[in-house]
Chains A and B, each alone.
Chain A
Amino acid sequence: MVSKTEETQLNRLENQVDNGGGGAWEYLCLVRKLKVRRSEKVLKYGLSILNDPKKRSALGPEEWTLYEQVAIAAMDCQCLNVAKDCIKALLKKFPESKRVGRLEGMLLEAKGSWAEAEKAYSSLLEDNPLDQVIHKRKVAMAKAQGNISGAIESLNKYLEIFMADHDAWRELAEIYVSLQMYKQAAFCYEELILSQPTVPLYHLAYADVLYTLGGLENLQTSKKYYASTIDLTGGKNTRALLGVCLCTSAIGQVSKGKNKEDKESPELQSLAAKALEKEYRQKADDKLGLLTSALRSLKI
């Protein structure tokens, strides 16, 4: 998960390298650090360093990290021969390595040799039953084969042991959402918010799921979480501002005619609407008309 500043920094560096301005190694390190998936670029620029003996030796011991990074990127781009070569180089240097063993397992996955990959991972797990990466590879394999219920089961088992793995909770939430299992997705986001209460993305995702679930109580809670997202992002998150407006409108619909004891304070939505109009006026002037009609149709 990457912040806007980090993404801008990464894209700037990427553009620089794309346009021949150098900085390939910095770019590759940043991709590794932020754990983003830019396999085509990593493959291209990683190989340009690895294939140049001078550049390669200038890396010192980092050379092996790069081999690993390029191997994975190559597998992601289905360039299996490149991956094989990288893994061969790593095996030569680290013959008994479990870490390289993992890469060999991934190569089997990339080839679609599921049974062999399963065997390889199981044997690695025998020696190291708490290897988180391998447990997650097994989930990924289930998903890749279309066995979504298997993936969910494995992921739930994994989270019973490694309950602090935020990426795993997010993955599980997204799988649940894709199956329209919104209550279960909500539970995942609740776990995330409990453990990292100041990460706005979780508040936003939770609000989105609650809105989708619907019903007065969920809509009211959803509105609160859009509000907390706005708070945590300094009012700059378009999705949260729109979310507040959507919630207000939906709450109005659902509670039409009902006893309005719990009177909604109108300030929040009018502030959100104003903030949106200001944003659009400044940055997307041509769409301002559409925004105003949208807000009007939501009766804000």
Chain B
Amino acid sequence: MKEKKTISPLRRILVNCTAQANEYGACVAAKVPEVERDMCLKEFLALKTCMQNTLRGKV
């Protein structure tokens, strides 16, 4: 059993990068059901940089 609550990295990312995640999610949700590869690339790259910053140590 877990005794201390370890926060998984993905959870930390989602907490830190809520704004970017919302933008990316809104972009995809608007285009469903015609989904193509990399159609929301710009928003996803913003999310990805935020993720990398979070993992590197909370820049």
On whether the two chains bind one another, the answer is no
